[in-house]
Amino acid sequence: MSPPSDSDALLQSLDDAIRGGTVPVHALDDRRYVKAHRAFEQSSPQQAQIRHRLEAEARQLIEAGRGPLNVLSVGCGCGMLDHSLLVHLTEHVESFVGVDPNPAAVAHFRQTLSSKRPLPPTRIECTRFEDLQSDRRYDFIYCSHVFYYVEDRVSTFQRMCSQLRDGGTLVIAHAPKTAMNALAQVFWSEHQQADFFDDDLHQLIKTHWPSPPATHDISAGIPRTLFSDNTSQGTLLLEFLLQAEWAPLPSPVQDQVQSYIDRHTQSVPGGRAVLPHPVTTFALRHGTPSRSGSSGAKNAE
């Protein structure tokens, strides 16, 4: 039977099959998650743009005389983003702490740090941020693509704020609800937890932070051709998209996923077909009204 042509019908059909319990959906284990995440970020220009935003915020602090900075990365994962940021800011960082509960990601990050050129003192803690035994405070805290996984978002956000020094900056990067995130929600076993996107985060910040955050919309895209299960990289991309293993899925389900991706592929200048991979960043500056985006309106990148 050919897949339904309409995107909503496709999603509904996948949802029905998964809720019906006939589709074997296996969450990614820690090691597979790290591989899939790395493949995804390596295929997208998004992470470099997040890094540019983080660097711009850190440089504002440095120019305001706050350096060298004590930096905390919440949900650092395997450290792809952090390592690149540290290389760019080396001489302005006094110390770096990364926190992540995935042991495979933490091992990868520690390995990278030990094999690369000298960096500022670093410590990588293998735990959930909520469980970190420390009340240390930082000049610069950031958290990229983590809030989907957090159980108590308000208390996690408040904890980050409380660990910010006077005059420090917190930056959170979080995705808007896109068609691809809707697809992941269908497959994600922790279904309820996944339903939290940039508008929800914006609302949370407005409720729990005294001034409007400076926000930036970042648009990025991943070439459609990469999402092919004929290659190991393509399989990893599909797995990160679904947050589930690809191989156990029956072929009609795989076909429906590919059809759904086709429906949401866009043409960009130069004629390339890409799958949109946007993100929003929120910068919260402690003790100072936000300078850019002070109205709270989004500034396009």
Chain residues in the site for ligand SAM (CB under 6 A): 37, 41, 74-77, 80-81, 99-102, 105, 128-130, 144-146, 149-150
Nearer to ligand SAM by Cβ, of 189 and 225: the residue is: 189
Q: Which residues of 172-203 are buried (b: 16+ CB within 10 A; e: fewer)?
A: bbbbeebebbbbbbbbbeeeeebebbbeebbe
What minimum distance in Å lies between the beta carbon of 105 and ligand SAM?
Answer: 5
HSE, CB side, 13 Å, CA atoms: give it for residue 215.
20
Nearer to ligand SAM, 127 or 294 (CB): 127
Q: Which is nearer to ligand SAM, 180 or 253 (CB)?
A: 180
Q: CB-wise, 88 or 128, nearer to ligand SAM?
A: 128
62 vs 99, which CB is nearer to ligand SAM?
Answer: 99
Closest separation in Å from C-beta 82 to ligand SAM: 8
Return phi, psi of residue 299, to 5°: -105, 120
Q: Which is nearer to ligand SAM, 150 or 253 (CB)?
A: 150
Contact 228, 25 (CB under 8 A): no
Residue showing tokens 């029905």: 16
**Shortest distance, position 192 Cβ to ligand SAM, whole Å:** 15
> Smallest gap, in angstroms, from Cβ of residue 271 to ligand SAM?
30
Minimum CB–partner distance for residue 50 and ligand SAM (Å): 7
- Rounded to whole angstroms, the Cα distance separating 73 from 54 reads 11
The residue (of 25 and 81) whose beta carbon lies closer to ligand SAM is 81
